[in-house]
Structure 1
Amino acid sequence: MIANRANTPALFPRIFPLLVVVGVLVFVFTVYTNSGSSKYLDRVSSRLKYPINGTGFSKQLIDYDLHDYNVKTYKGYVNMYELNEKVFKLYGYEIEKPTLPVPTLRMINEPTCELVFSEWLRVSQEPQPKNPPKYIPSGESDAFLLFGYAAVESWYMNDKNSYFGEKPKNWDKLSEMITWPKEKLAEIAYVTESVSVYNAMASHRLDGMSGVVIGSAEKILTVEYNRLTIQEEFRDRMSSILPVDFVQNWHTYADKFDFAASFSSIEHSGLGRYGDPMDPIGDLREMLKIKCILKKGGLLFLGFPLGTDAIQYNVHRIYGPIRLAMMFYGFEWLSTFSGGLENAFDLNSQRLHSNVKFGMHQYTMVLKKL
């Protein structure tokens, strides 16, 4: 039987009000969700950037399509366009050139040295817990973990005022140690890996130069959280200073040093293990400080764990191409040295990621301030 269409109520007019209501609800929900997500990213991102000085602007890449360049992460390969939008810009950087294995970045709003040191001092004065937190603070995961592009696993140590924690040692044996061969020096810490510093400095002669050691040549200044006792005969060439005193007197050291050296130090900055302030960009702050105190063309000998981007919280960071790109800002990467080879080698993507997740190498990279 065929129904009489003329007497059948029209379906669309009956459900039209319902469709309107549903449509409005979907629209409101979408706007609310996107707005909430945007506000969250803005809130987290604002903590990772320096205050705007009025000169920052984003620059459009014309010569490159970032979709064509991929970087390895623990999630797999990710194109540089995605990383540029979802990581680098949120930290205040952007890709200037899609180099491999590490992209070349620029800072959208580069801070002055005055701001770099004042911000470090501000963060250092924030209240800190009695013991280093065992977990990344609530709401801070994205800031610490590259917005989801760095892996994380738990490995906790408390070296804040710990009797068994790592402390400076052997400073009372300098006169003896300078006679040791590099193999014996390597036995003090990191064995073969620490020889990479020796090999790097042997290839880039430092005769007559002044330098600064972060964390642990004619004159050497060591920036160290613990007070050091230096043998009398070396005090005309070697001295130490606490980080807070160094920052408060930074003008004294601006553009002063021919070279800087840091091995197994900066990767800990901001993770709280040593009682330092929790700071997701603590290591990036250290690099900007070093940039401020080096002369133009000055060298930085830099060693820390290398692999695929990750944090073994709270022990250290492992540096892959994403975080390395931000660490290298303002420097030219000249060469890389291992402890097993006297000459530099090519640290390509395959070698950088040759270990499993959370696996790492500890090499010394030589950077030149631009």
Structure 2
Amino acid sequence: TRTRHINIQRLNPSVRTLLGSNYSSSKEDLALQAVQTRFQKVKAECGQICITEQAKTNVIGKGWYNIVRKPFSCKKIFNYDVFDSSTELEESPHKIPAFLYDEFTYQGRVHVSNMFRNDETPFSKYADWNKDMVQNLVTKIRHGIPTSSYGAKAYSSLKLAMHHTKNTGAHVLVIGSQKPWVEAMLLEQGASHVSTLDYSSIKCDHPQITTYTPPELTAAFLSGTLPVFDGVVSYSSIEHSGLGRYGDALNPYGDLIAMARAWCLVKDLGFAVVGVPTGPDHITFNLHRVYGPLMYSHLFANWQQVYTDTDINLYVSEKHRKRTYGGGFFHTIHVLRKNRTFFAL
């Protein structure tokens, strides 16, 4: 009798699930072993940023969420070989691997549903932001015309949040950007310069915008040539970090590491403006995270909570819970402040 070899990588995901571990390919197993090995290095270098166990969490106060203190090393958190290595997998898993489940779910305290997307973009892909394009967006904002890629509400919410920051003459870092609507808003409000961090290489000839890929920014930080930023802005980006949707390596703490790095890059008493999905603590894997009181407290570790357009009580209702678990979400805005004295860091 001939034994027929089944290439599990070519099977429909639902069929692969039904077949189970008896048909898992050795190539896939080796890749997952590599993920596990890298993850142990992440845990070793990450320090307290990656500690989420309730008994080990240092809560020092209460804002909208618990205020959490996590001492860590900026030099270690920018170890590119550990935190920014390319994915070991041909495609992100459709479910969280068992050996990462506790870490992704905060030891089972965060609900999980599954909704898979593959939006991987080669790092070599270029976006082109020419000067006229950026200036056109600035002009629209000046005349009150919404320019957000996420609709009028996102535009108005972010603009309102900017009233709690000092952008005039500031150098601001934008994390995650496919269209420069946030950059244009900052320039319209008087920022002297905007730097943008994105996985794609962005070609931009505007004299007030500098762009970085993660390797470029990390190299500049470690060499001491990166400027210290007055603030950082991120809208609909951090919630995806470490889920593999965009071809990034799996990392349960990808979002926490991103915010810790932002803390390192901003001057003392500088600001962060963060827009992410809000609701009951939840992960729709590999789509995004939805932040509630638990996940927000760790995402905002070492940051003072200054302003929000969110009443968290409105976002944890049963109606919203069902909608969120079904894949829906609501982006909300928070303004934070770095304060080394307050956190004794």
Compute the TM-score of the two structures, normalised by the length of structure 1.
Answer: 0.67
Q: Which residue of 2 aligns with 1:245?
A: 216
Q: Which residue of 1 aligns with 2:229?
A: 257
Q: Would you say 1:287 and 2:251 are equivalent positions?
A: no
Does structure 2 retain, via aligned residues, the 8 Å contact 1:211–1:258? yes
Q: Would you say 1:129 and 2:89 are equivalent positions?
A: yes
Question: How far off is 1:161 after superposition?
Answer: 3.0
Q: Would you say 1:94 and 2:68 are equivalent positions?
A: no
Distance 1:183 1:50 in 2: 48
SS class of match (1:158): coil
Distance 1:286 1:305 in 2: 16
Question: How far off is 1:177 after superposition?
Answer: 1.1
Q: Would you say 1:363 and 2:323 are equivalent positions?
A: no
**Structure 1 residues 312 and 263, CA gap change in structure 2 (3 angstroms):** same
SS class of match (1:180): helix
Does structure 2 retain, via aligned residues, the 8 Å contact 1:253–1:293? no
Letter matched to residue 243 of structure 1: P
Q: Which residue of 2 aligns with 1:179?
A: 139
Does structure 2 retain, via aligned residues, the 8 Å contact 1:135–1:313? yes
SS class of match (2:173): strand
Q: Which residue of 2 aligns with 1:201?
A: 162
Letter matched to residue 58 of structure 2: E
Taking only the aligned residue pairs, the percentage that are identical comes to 25
Letter matched to residue 313 of structure 1: F
SS class of match (2:119): coil
Structure 1: where are the runs of 5+ without partners? 1-42, 57-84, 338-346
Does structure 2 retain, via aligned residues, the 8 Å contact 1:186–1:192? no
Q: Which residue of 2 aligns with 1:103?
A: 66
SS class of match (2:321): coil
Q: Pick from 96, 101, 104 the counterpart of residue 141 of structure 1.
A: 101
Letter matched to residue 68 of structure 2: L
Distance 1:239 1:271 in 2: 27
Does structure 2 retain, via aligned residues, the 8 Å contact 1:88–1:95? no
Letter matched to residue 227 of structure 1: S
Name which of structure 1's ranges 203-212 and 177-186 shifts more when overlaid on structure 2. 177-186
Larger Rg: 1
Question: How far off is 1:218 after superposition?
Answer: 0.7
Distance 1:242 1:115 in 2: 19
Q: Which residue of 1 aligns with 2:342?
A: none
Letter matched to residue 242 of structure 1: T
Q: 1:299-318 counterparts in 2 under 5 A?
A: 299-318=271-290
Q: Which residue of 1 aligns with 2:300?
A: 328
Distance 1:176 1:186 in 2: 10
Q: Which residue of 2 aligns with 1:189?
A: 150
Distance 1:100 1:201 in 2: 20
Distance 1:188 1:170 in 2: 15
Letter matched to residue 335 of structure 1: Y
**Structure 1 residues 153 and 322, CA gap change in structure 2 (3 angstroms):** same
Distance 1:169 1:264 in 2: 20
Q: Which residue of 1 aligns with 2:22?
A: none
Question: How far off is 1:279 after superposition?
Answer: 0.1
**Structure 1 residues 273 and 326, CA gap change in structure 2 (3 angstroms):** same
Question: How far off is 1:129 after superposition?
Answer: 1.1
Distance 1:210 1:48 in 2: 30
Structure 2: where are the runs of 5+ without partners? 1-36, 178-190, 340-345
Q: Would you say 1:154 and 2:111 are equivalent positions?
A: no
Number of residues of Structure 1 aligned to a counterpart in Structure 2:
276
Does structure 2 retain, via aligned residues, the 8 Å contact 1:263–1:302? yes
After superposition, give the CA deviation of every residue in 1:282-324 in whole Å (9 maximum; x if it has no partner): 0000011000010000010110001110011111000011111
Does structure 1 retain, via aligned residues, the 8 Å contact 2:46–2:77? no
Q: Which residue of 1 aligns with 2:249?
A: 277
Does structure 2 retain, via aligned residues, the 8 Å contact 1:311–1:318? yes
Letter matched to residue 73 of structure 2: T
Letter matched to residue 207 of structure 1: T
Does structure 2 retain, via aligned residues, the 8 Å contact 1:330–1:369? yes
Compute the TM-score of the two structures, normalised by the length of structure 2.
Answer: 0.72
Q: 1:68-87 counterparts in 2 under 5 A?
A: 87=53
After superposition, give the CA deviation of every residue in 1:236-275 in whole Å (9 maximum; x if it has no partner): 2101011122112214366711011000000000000001
Distance 2:266 2:225 in 1: 8
